[in-house]
Structure 1
Amino acid sequence: MTQKKYISVNVLMDVKCSNMLTRSAKKNMRCKRHEAAARLKDHLLRFGGEWTEKTTTEKQ
């Protein structure tokens, strides 16, 4: 049986996003770490490596 290998990633986020992640984790009955992993995986599978964050001038 082959075991999956997992990599740990540390991220910085503002308080607003941290609170949103905490609420989402509670709603989905997961710990915050697993909620973050699930959300990051979902985003990567949807958008791959082509996604870039819009800069302040692009958002206007």
Structure 2
Amino acid sequence: MSNKKTISVNVLMDTECNHLLNESSKRNSRTKRHEAAARLKDHLLRFSGSWEEKQRN
């Protein structure tokens, strides 16, 4: 992460997403916190306009 001021955000996620985040953090050699931050930043930069959550069955 850069030297910019950062804030902390707490999120709730289901066990499936938690597992996927854990696996992704291991593959990318990052802590889970840094993996989540990188993925959230990427998503916000890509989809900063409107976005709707897809319903999962």
With the length of structure 1 as denominator, give the TM-score of the two structures. 0.81
Aligned to 1:28: 28
Structure 1, unaligned stretches of length 5 or more?
Answer: none
Unmatched tracts of structure 2, length 5 or more: none
CA RMSD of aligned residues (A): 1.8
- Bigger Rg over Cα: 1
Identity of aligned residues (%): 65
2 CA distance for matches of 1:46 and 1:12? 22
Q: 1:21 to 1:55 in 2, by over 3 A?
A: closer
Question: CA shift at 1:36, angstroms?
Answer: 0.2
Higher relative contact order (CA 8 A, sep 6+): 2
Greater helix proportion: 1
**What's the counterpart of residue 8 of structure 1?**
8
Q: Number of aligned pairs?
A: 55
